Amino acid sequence: MSIPRDLVVDADAGAGAGRGSGSGAGRYAPSPSGDLHLGNLRTAMLAWLFARSSERRFLMRIEDLDRDRNAGAAAGQLADLVALGVEWDGEPVLQSGRRAAHEAAIARLAEAGLVYECTCTRREILEAPRAPHAPPGAYPGTCRDLSDAERAAARERIAPRAPALRLRVPEGVVPPDFEDLILGGVTGGVDDLVLQRGDGAIAYNLAVVVDDADMGVDQVVRGDDLASSTPRQILLQRLLGLPSPPEIAYAHVPLVLGPEGSRLAKRDGAVTVEDLAAQGIGPDRIRSVLAASLGLAEPGEPIGMAELLERFEPEALPRQAWTWSPEALRLEAP
């Protein structure tokens, strides 16, 4: 990990980070998979505005659980956020340093009989029949009710690979719904989601729930592509006795799309701070363009984060995705 150690909170400190004033907190939680692009930066800006406008602290967490991701990208991501004007309270928390808390949560669920081993491959899950109204990608329950002998045989079949651990959703559970600050009422299905992968990595849905609770986060702002996973997270919150809506506010904000109409990605050209800097486009211009896309500034208008905060009204934010084009970044200030 290339983040300077004085920027990182260890596991014990991270559990209490940001709780001091008791006023709640928002957060931004990037995955260190590479440089942040304009869509990531826009969401970070919105998360900051939501938190500051509601007098919450704003926290930073690096979600580096996935061993396949480039952990070294985190330092560059933080530098880009600072350049944009997005600053946070306290020190960034490394999610990978909180494994003990994640394992403790899984142990609590296991003690309640809510965890079981799963040896299914991705292909087997996709090919298995499932209930007519199951959520997309829902687990069909193949390993849920195996006998001890069947489980032992399944373990032997996949050796040396280890089984994953899944949540046993209690019978009769009604899928949680919630009121989103942007989307309004959201409903979604729940299934026996993965808590820990076969390679030992803690699953996102479990980690994000535990970490937000331990960090005192009561406002979650993120892309609207994650809205469908929120009912699963709310179920975990309730099973673990952690705060859940309405104690936690969710705002799933519209994504940025590329010129072809798909989710913005680096393949769409110069969409990162580094790439744009090579074209003579600096953080001030990027902030201006992103602000204009949110209806918080006129095209080409220079504006700082303090001014954006004065203008910010959540109810006035656009509800549709913004389609990026290179021309937007070349508008001259009046």
Annotated binding site for L-glutamate: 27-31, 63, 204, 222
Annotated binding site for ATP: 266
Per-residue exposure over 20-59, b if at least 16 CB sit within 10 Å of its own CB, e if not: eeeebbbbbbbbbbbbbbbbbbbbbbbbbbbbbbeebbbb
The H-assigned helical ranges of the chain are 11-16, 38-53, 73-84, 99-111, 122-127, 148-158, 204-214, 230-239, 273-277, 283-293, 305-311
d(CA 12, CA 14): 5
Annotated binding site: 27-31, 63, 118, 120, 139, 143, 204, 222, 266
Output phi, psi for 66, to 5 deg: -75, 115
Annotated binding site for Zn(2+): 118, 120, 139, 143
- Contacts by residues 277-281 (CB-CB < 8 Å, ≥ 24 positions apart): 281/329, 281/330
Neighbours of 99 (CB within 10 A): 15
Structure tokens at 287: 């902030």
Q: Is the distance from CB of 99 to CB of 243 less than 8 angstroms? A: no
- CA dihedral (138, 203, 188, 40) in degrees, to 10, reads -120
Among residues 85, 79, 73, 75, the alpha carbon closest in space to that of 42 is found at: 85
Residue with tokens 């026996």: 192
Q: Which residues contact 110 (CB under 8 A, 6 or more apart)?
A: none
d(CA 102, CA 302): 43
Q: Is the distance from CB of 192 to CB of 145 less than 8 angstroms? A: no
Per-residue exposure over 273-295, b if at least 16 CB sit within 10 Å of its own CB, e if not: beebeeeebebebbbbbbbbbbe
DSSP-assigned letter for residue 333:
P
